[in-house]
Each structure stands twice: as C-alpha cells, then as structure tokens.
Chain A
C-alpha cells in the first residue's frame, strides 16, 4: 500500500527550490492550457467551428452568471478574467488529477518510491496561493471601484466604538476567508485522493467507478464554489452605497 502523505513529495531540486509532484502536474496542466489557448486563438473564425462554439457557450454561461450576481454587463466583463481563470484552472487541475497515471506512475527518488504526478490542489501551497491571490485581488478591485478611503473605512472606522469593533471583525474575516478558501479546496481534493488510493487498493476492478464519478463531481463543484466565492466578495466590495 503506498503511503499517504499530507505534503506533496519532492521530485528533484533546482538549486534550493524543491519541485514537488503536484507542482510538476501544475506546470504540465498550465503549459497544456496555454498551448490550447494559443492554438485556438490563431484559428478564430466569425462562423465558429465545434471547439470554438463550445468555448463560446461556456464563456457566455459564465458571463451571464456574473452579470446576474454583479448587476451590470460592464462590470461582469471587467472582472471576468480573474473569476474565469480561477474557475477554469482549478477545474482543469481537479479533472487532470483523476487521469490515469496520476498517483500510479512512480519514480525512484533516493531509495524511496515517489509518484510522479499528484493532483495539483492536493498541495496546500497551490490552494493557499489561489486564496491569497483571490483575497488580495478582491480588495484591490474594491479600492479601484469605490476609492481608497471608502474601502479602508470598512476596516478602520473611528466613528464610534461599535463601528471600530466591527471593522476589526471585518479584518479578521478577510484572514478567515483566506484560510477557509484554501482549506476547503485542499481538504476536498486531498480527501478524494486518499479515498481513491484506498479504494483502488481494496477493489481495483469496477468498484472504483462510482468513486471516480464522485471525484469528478467534487472537482467541478469545488472549482465552481471557489470562483463563486471570489465573485461574491467582488460584488460586495464594489457595491455602490445607495444613498
């Protein structure tokens, strides 16, 4: 039975930087997505072919969802890159973690056997990076939308003691948002990996099918939830105060 490790295992080092197996799969996934995006960008036509229609349908669906949350189509197009990148990248990473070969191809690293690929979000660094980016970007978007002082006055409000206390709570809630976003994605994907490892060890034929379906479903839902939570923070931060 292969050992289950909370930390991503290291494959090799470049200088003093360790390349772990989930970092390796993240690189492979992002290079693949870049290649697909560049190739399909060259072939854009006015009358779309099959791949372009599917992509346009997906983008239209996401834009509609963002518009219903944010209220205006202009804002939806403005904040689309951040939300769509989070959604698409996390979805493709989660789905690529279920592909055959992930977790089963092993290499020998200094005497121990280490699997070559590991689901990208099963590394806390990946999810923590996304959570920090999401929270910092929603705050920057808030500052750009309503101005520096109105945004800061949500957190540091010296009007009366109660408002000051609420400001401190808002600050703590931003930090809690980072922790909850990162741990939600990490916990779901890592638990799915552990579940699949155990099920493939116990009953490798036919029985893993419902668990693989569950993993696909959970991967899609978690990507959707991460993007939606970012979207909700953006819509809260850019809401103009009704006077």
Chain B
C-alpha cells in the first residue's frame, strides 16, 4: 500500500470511528436532560443551558476527529 492509499483510508477511518463515541454521549446527555425536565419542569431553562454546554463539550471531541482527518487529507 503506498502512502496515498493509506492517507485516504486514514481520512475516512478517523472521522468514521471518531464520531461514534460523541454521538452516543450526546444521546445520553439529551436523554438525561429530558428526563430531569420531566421530573422538574420549573428548572427547565437551567437544565437547558447546562445541556447545551455539555453537548458542545461532547461535540468538540468529534470536531477534533474531523480536524485530524482534514489535516491528514489536505496538509501532509
């Protein structure tokens, strides 16, 4: 396998594998936020703020994977 084939496979592999865990964790965060809003509807806006923050953290991991795959494809 020459380096260009490896580069292609690496680009695809990094982003495919790297988005599995953030997707699962965002699902968990959303589900627990919905459950806690159902339990206590008055605190809905606080829970929503905390949920958006936690989802942004989890999504950042997927973004790291995307940046690595873009670097592999376009830079070196």
Residues of A with Cβ closer than 8 Å to B?
4-6, 65, 68, 180, 183-184, 186-188, 190-191, 194, 221-222, 224-225, 228-229, 232
Contacts and interface: CB of A to CB of B under 8 A. Distances in A.
A65 B53 CA distance: 13
Contacts of B49: 65, 228
Nearest to A3: B74
A176 B21 CA distance: 20
Contacts of A221: 52, 56
Nearest to A228: B53
Given A184-B60, A225-B53, A229-B56, 18 more contacts: A6-B70, A6-B71, A6-B75, A65-B49, A68-B46, A183-B60, A183-B64, A184-B56, A184-B59, A186-B67, A187-B64, A188-B63, A190-B70, A191-B63, A191-B70, A225-B56, A229-B53, A232-B53
A183 B66 CA distance: 10
18 contacts: A4-B74, A5-B74, A6-B71, A6-B74, A65-B49, A183-B64, A184-B56, A187-B60, A187-B63, A187-B64, A187-B67, A190-B67, A191-B66, A221-B52, A224-B52, A225-B52, A228-B53, A232-B53
A188 B70 CA distance: 12
Interface of B: 46, 49, 52-53, 56, 59-60, 63-64, 66-67, 70-71, 74-75
Nearest to B56: A225
A4 B63 CA distance: 17
The prevalent SS among residues of B at the interface is helix
B18 to A, nearest CB: 11
Most buried by A among B49, B56, B74, B75: B56
A232 B52 CA distance: 13
A190 B52 CA distance: 21
B5 to A, nearest CB: 21
A32 B71 CA distance: 33
A6 B67 CA distance: 9
Residue from the set B46, B53, B60, B64 with the largest chain A CB neighbour count within 10 Å: B60
Contacts of A187: 60, 63-64, 66-67
The 10 closest A-B pairs by CB, nearest first: A187-B63, A225-B56, A184-B60, A187-B67, A6-B74, A187-B66, A191-B66, A228-B53, A184-B63, A6-B75
A183 to B, nearest CB: 6
A229 to B, nearest CB: 7
Contacts of B66: 187, 191
Contacts of A180: 60
Nearest to B71: A6
Contacts of B64: 183, 187
B66 to A, nearest CB: 5
A24 B24 CA distance: 39
Nearest to A5: B74
Nearest to A186: B67
A179 to B, nearest CB: 9
B14 to A, nearest CB: 13
